[in-house]
Every structure is written in structure tokens, then in C-alpha cells.
Structure 1
Amino acid sequence: MEDFQKKTVTVIYYSDTSLELLHKIELFLQSPEGRVVIPESFKRGKSIIAVCDGEINILNKIGDRIISAYDVA
């Protein structure tokens, strides 16, 4: 693991206990081949959708702008 470097990534995921799309900025190890190594402790209880390079500022996610059908009519 001495050749591994640390990399800042934004992980987009669903929690196993919610349907809300979540994201978290983390610092993980990166292999010499460029692959980010996400620890099992972080993966536990999550369905990972995407791993993005760097710190991503997400402005809107699925479900952020849900409006009632009654408000549309």
C-alpha cells in the first residue's frame, strides 16, 4: 500500500434505509493504476451510484423538486 496516494472524491449513493439520493465527499486511497479504493466500512448499507473526481457541488438531485399533483392542476 506504500504506492497508494490519497484522492478526494464525491460518492453518490442510496442508503439501504432510504430512497433519498445522498452524496458524501471523502478522502480515499487510490491505487497506482488510478482506481479509488472504497473501504468496506463505507460501502456497508449503501448502494453506490457514482464516484466522482474531486469535490462536487450538487445543486439538485432526483426528488429535490417533487411537487404535488394537486399543485400542478
Structure 2
Amino acid sequence: MCEAKRKVTVIYCCDKDLSMYRKTQCFSLNAYGDMIIPQNFKRGKTIVAVCDGEIDVINSVGDKLVNEYWH
């Protein structure tokens, strides 16, 4: 039997950095269908959102602010 997985995009901040990041990955589901994000993935991160499938972020918090001050 194949192990059930779900493809998601995780939006997160690193504990030592204020920037936001995203990563699309497949995570295993438990017997009840709940997705399990492993501790080694969560370590050092604050997860802001988990989105179903692969997504394209057009704009996120701070993008405009960063662009104004660095250009």
C-alpha cells in the first residue's frame, strides 16, 4: 500500500530573520487524513500559512516596503 501524501506550499519566517519564505513540498498523512509536518522541517521556523498545492505569491507583507528602501 502506498503512503498517502499531500502537496502543500508552506509560507514561513525563519526565527533569526524577518523575511518571509515559501516552500512547496509533499507531506505524509496520518491514518485520519491529517497532514504531518515533520519536526525537522518546522525547526527554526514560524509557519505563517499552509496552502493547498503549489501557489504563486504575487505580493506579501513587506514587499513594497523593502522595494522602496532598497531601490
For the criterion TM > 0.5, the same-fold answer is yes
Residues 38-57 of structure 1 aligned to structure 2 (within 5 Å):
38-57=37-56
| RMSD after superposition | 1.7
TM-score (norm 2): 0.82
What is the TM-score normalised by the length of structure 1?
Answer: 0.80
Give the ranges of 4+ consecutive aligned residues of structure 1 lying more than 3 Å apart after TM superposition.
none
Unaligned runs of 5+ in 2: none
Identical aligned residues as a percent: 43
Alignment of 1:1-73 (within 5 A): 4-66=3-65, 67-68=68-69
Q: Which has the higher helix share?
A: 2
Unaligned runs of 5+ in 1: 69-73
The number of residues matched between the two structures is 67
